[in-house]
Structure 1
């Protein structure tokens, strides 16, 4: 699907139709993020597209995007979650963006840390600006507390783009109201009591935190312990210390306690039989509160 430019107002749903949700300021974002020595080479904001991940991955494969390209959409009509799930939200109600990374100096075996690294960056950026306590559900969900309940307010999806590229996609519900939630278990920063929901500073904070963590991880050759990523992720991970059910490919499931995230970014589950089983991919269900 072809992206429509952020200033294209020919559709009748004027960009000013919801004054609580002003459009992002693309020029200000570029001034703040694209500078000498920065990771970020370009920041583009489009009005509407199917999926920023699909669009940016296609550009990367065609050689039309450099590392540090950022694509942001005010509205995604076919946003992608894990396991081919769809992610949709009202226009300008959240942050929906993708970043192209090319971690050439890091062994491919360690690239599995990229969604976890992004989770740490998103959580720290949001905490700084929105003042919301966020937690990470392994491997890539962002949780907030709404009315004493843990709810998903965001997600991360990493996809390979050609031989040397990874596109990291992030979706965060910012101002979603209760009557707009796609499912009852969803949440948003506003519903979690955010002190600020202006998306411009939120996006800047998240992208700066991502640049910082990515730089540290890359300088350490992707070693998650050496750069502090493994410890920081574990400290913010709501999955650890809980009873969980891992629903694995092939309709297999493991039930036990999530006890660690190992050096490869896998979740280690201690089962009732006394076995510690690392899980690299699957759906994790939290069975009891932390």
Structure 2
């Protein structure tokens, strides 16, 4: 059974909600600020722009002049980026495309947990608000199950990218397909909340849910000085990680390939792989992970 972050109250999926097809209304920036930018809270500002190249790039350029907790949301990204310099594109107002500025005061060796933390927060918040099971592919992908001819298929609906900004800042960006239809998918392996039969694709409450969940997990993690075990982050990530227990092929920097079973997430946020050739287990800190289908 694939681990996932399931909806907390188990709503029954339905399709055809009022925002899923022709209507893609703009986000209500004023209402989002009233709900999220609160005294004593993490989020200090929230701006929504109609279009930009990359929210990560824009926020990183202003990081030195902004306090922690700045949020930048775009209705459309024309040069969105993922890991390994991959592009991320989607029709205007079809998803959530945003970046946040964080300045965590934790030991440097624990900063690798920040994109994993964002994945846990996003999956947890979206499971509640959208009523759809979500799981995580190490290190930064959000997965949903989309009905297909062979049953439910695991599809990537979102991705996370964390980048340093200035002396003490980290910009974390998230792109999520919300109302993309099958004929709009950039690649066949992509998915969206709508295709996964989410009970809601109204982007305002979805964004509120993700940012509130991110504030919760970030607060726990920083209060524990970035300790993934003490904060509960390591356990939560492992519980929702679809990569663990799977056969994987890790395509590593330098052209090396490692094949085996993903067996754990270590204290540094690395994926531990039990080698198929019987060699010692290896911790992977960077690279592209391919989930391998089990052999019948």
Aligned-residue offset at 1:49? 0.1
Give CA deviations for 1:161-193 in whole Å, capped at 9, x if unaligned.
Answer: 012110000000000000000000000000000
Runs of 4+ with deviation above 4 angstroms: none
TM-score by length of 2: 0.90
Question: Match of 2:171, SS?
Answer: strand
Number of residue-to-residue matches in the alignment: 270
TM-score by length of 1: 0.92
Partners in 1 of 2:38 and 2:270 — Cα distance? 35
Find the counterpart in structure 2 of residue 11 from structure 1: none
Question: Match of 2:65, SS?
Answer: coil
Give CA deviations for 1:234-270 in whole Å, capped at 9, x if unaligned.
Answer: 0000000000000000000100000000000000000
* 2:203 is the counterpart of 1:199: yes
Aligned-residue offset at 1:289? 5.7
Aligned-residue offset at 1:274? 3.6
Q: Which gives a bigger RCO, structure 1 or 2 (Cα 8 Å, sep 6+)?
A: 2
* 2:41 is the counterpart of 1:38: yes
Partners in 1 of 2:117 and 2:103 — Cα distance? 15
Aligned-residue offset at 1:65? 1.5
Find the counterpart in structure 2 of residue 116 from structure 1: 116
Partners in 2 of 1:267 and 1:175 — Cα distance? 31
Which structure 2 residues correspond to residues 1-290 of structure 1 after superposition, within 5 A?
20-60=23-63, 63-104=64-105, 106-147=106-147, 148-272=152-276, 273-288=278-293
Give CA deviations for 1:203-227 in whole Å, capped at 9, x if unaligned.
Answer: 0000000000000000000000001
Partners in 2 of 1:35 and 1:142 — Cα distance? 28
* TM-align CA RMSD: 1.1
Gapped runs of 5+ residues in structure 2?
A: 1-20
Aligned-residue offset at 1:20? 1.4
